[in-house]
């Protein structure tokens, strides 16, 4: 608990650093919010009107003052108002987040469900044909860009099965689970494909390492059958790198998967951030980045807790 408390105490500091970085860097991009918002009509504004709008959004002040105001709002849980949507930033983000979270979780389940067994299978058949096949598939999975897989899936579904996944709007899991799954399963497979490939490769190499460890020989010497040696004695020791990789990948996925969201026309966090940058919606960009950073911190913490759960030497402290 002590450890957990100390970790949580570092969160505000890291988030503060992230916010500083994003706040000032986005303002270095040329262009301003009002032009972006009104498009060609911005040219019709009189300087006075423009000034009034800038004052309304608070972007007439020096950047440092803006940052101070924003930070003060943040401490009260107020991330500001999105210029594009005319709603509080947090509300906009939370509307998009369930889709992103569900997509990331599904992708991870697919990746681990395929990747770990495939990696174990390859490792236990090292240098035999099964291993070679798995390695080729993993190489393919890692080197094929996500949009290719996504496009192929859409093509096959629509041309051969006449099935077009619902696009544009998102059906939450709790309103219609089937429609929700029908909508997300293909993007999840697209994301999970490459993810599974990396998991396979890392599980394979970790298992190969562990299988040559002394305690595996000990297990065999005491008559443990091969299957149990692999799953009971070796796998728990090989999971640490898999957890590390999964944590990093999952963190990225929680930031939204821009390309897959684009292909499947899903309103996720990735496109939200991208659009916000295009619109110079400063408050929304800051909100998104901060939210993603926060997610990363949480995921990293979970990864460290998972290490402790997996390895008693971490949990109890090695001598």
Partner 1 sequence: MSPLLSVRDLTVAFGKDASEPVVRGVSFELNPGETLAIVGESGSGKSVTALSINRLVDFGGGRIVGGSMRLTRPDGAVLELSQAEERTLVDIRGREIGMIFQEPMTSLNPVHTVGAQIEEAFRLHRGLVGQAARQAAREALDRVRIADAEQRLRYYPHQLSGGMRQRVMIAMALAGNPRLLIADEPTTALDVTVQAQIMALLAELRAETGMAMIFITHDIGLVAGIADHVLVMQNGVAVEQGRLDAVLDAPQHDYTQHLLNAVPHFSGGRAVRADGARAEGGERPMVAVKDLVVRFPVGRGLFARNAGAVHAVEGVDFDLVQGETLAIVGESGSGKSTTARAILGLVEATRGTVDAASGQGGRPIQMVFQDPFASLNPRLDVESLLAEPAIAAGRRIDAALRERMGFLLEKVGLPANCLVRYPHQFSGGQRQRLCIARALMLNPDVVVLDEAVSALDVSVQAKVLDLLIDLQREFGLAYLFISHDMAVVERIAHRVAVMYAGQIVEIGGAGAVLSRPRHSYTRRLIAAVPGMDRRRQRYDVDTTPVPSLVRPRGYEPPQADWIEAGPDHLVRMETA
Interacting residues toward partner 1 by CB under 8 A: 2, 5-6, 212-226, 233, 236-237, 310-313, 316, 318-319
C-beta of 319: minimal distance to partner 1 in Å?
6
Nearer residue to partner 1 within complex by CB, 121 or 230: 230
Length of the chain: 319
CB 293 within 8 A of CB 17: no
CA dist 317 to 210, 213, 305, 306, 308, Å? 21, 21, 13, 15, 9
- Cβ 235 to partner 1, closest distance in Å? 10
Q: Tokens 């998102």 identify what position?
A: 170
In the complex, least distance from residue 6 CB atom to partner 1, rounded to whole angstroms: 6
- In degrees, rounded to 5, the angle at the alpha carbon of residue 210 between the alpha carbons of residues 318 and 225 is 115
Quick check: helix, strand or coil at residue 232?
helix
Q: 88 - beta bridge partners?
A: 81
Q: Nearer Cβ to partner 1, position 171 or 237?
A: 237
Q: Which helix (H) or strand (E) holds 52?
A: helix 47-57
Exposure b/e, 142-151, CB count within 10 A at least 16 = b: eeeebeebbe
177-211 vs 146-161: helix axis angle to the nearest 10? 130
13 or 178: CB nearest partner 1: 13
Q: Which is nearer to partner 1, 2 or 46 (CB)?
A: 2
Judged by phi (left if over 0) then psi (alpha if -120 to 50, else beta), residue 224 lies in beta
Give the nearer residue to partner 1 in terms of CB position, either 91 or 212.
212
- The residues, ordered by sequence, that sit 6+ positions from 92 with a Cβ below 8 Å of its Cβ are 82, 85, 272, 284, 287
Q: Nearer Cβ to partner 1, position 12 or 177?
A: 12
CB of 313 to partner 1, least distance (A): 5
Cβ proximity to partner 1: between 275 and 311 the closer is 311
Exposure class string for 269-295: b at 16+ Cβ within 10 A, else e: bbbbbbbbbebbbbbbbbbbbbbbbeb
Residue among 137 and 310 whose Cβ is closer to partner 1: 310
């Amino acid at each position: 608990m002590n450890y957990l408390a100390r970790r949580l105490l570092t969160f505000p500091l890291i988030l503060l650093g992230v916010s500083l970085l994003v706040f000032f860097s986005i303002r270095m991009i040329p262009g301003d919010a009002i032009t972006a918002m009104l498009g060609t009509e911005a040219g019709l504004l009189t300087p006075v009107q423009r000034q009034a709008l800038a004052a309304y959004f608070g972007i007439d002040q020096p950047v440092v003052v803006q940052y101070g105001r924003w930070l003060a709002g943040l401490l009260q849980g107020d991330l500001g108002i999105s210029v594009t949507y005319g709603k509080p930033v947090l509300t906009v983000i939370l509307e998009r987040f369930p889709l992103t979270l569900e997509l990331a979780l599904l992708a991870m389940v697919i990746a681990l469900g395929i990747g770990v067994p495939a990696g174990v299978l390859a490792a236990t058949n090292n240098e035999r044909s099964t291993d070679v096949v798995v390695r080729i598939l993993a190489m393919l999975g890692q080197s094929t860009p996500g949009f290719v897989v996504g496009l192929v899936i859409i093509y096959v579904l629509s041309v051969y099965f006449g099935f077009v996944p619902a696009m544009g709007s998102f059906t939450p899991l709790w309103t219609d689970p089937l429609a929700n799954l029908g909508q997300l399963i293909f993007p999840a497979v697209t994301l999970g494909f490459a993810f599974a490939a990396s998991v396979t490769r890392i599980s394979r190499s970790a298992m190969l390492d562990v299988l040559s460890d002394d305690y595996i020989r000990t297990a065999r010497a005491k008559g443990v059958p091969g299957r149990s040696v692999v799953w009971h004695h070796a796998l728990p020791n090989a999971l640490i790198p898999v957890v590390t990789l999964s944590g990093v990948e999952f963190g990225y996925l929680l930031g939204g998967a821009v390309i897959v969201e684009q292909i499947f026309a899903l309103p996720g966090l990735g496109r939200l951030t991208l659009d916000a940058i295009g619109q110079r919606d400063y408050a929304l960009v800051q909100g998104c980045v901060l939210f993603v950073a926060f997610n990363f911190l949480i995921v990293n913490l979970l990864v460290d807790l998972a290490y402790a759960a997996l390895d008693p030497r971490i949990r109890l402290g090695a001598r």
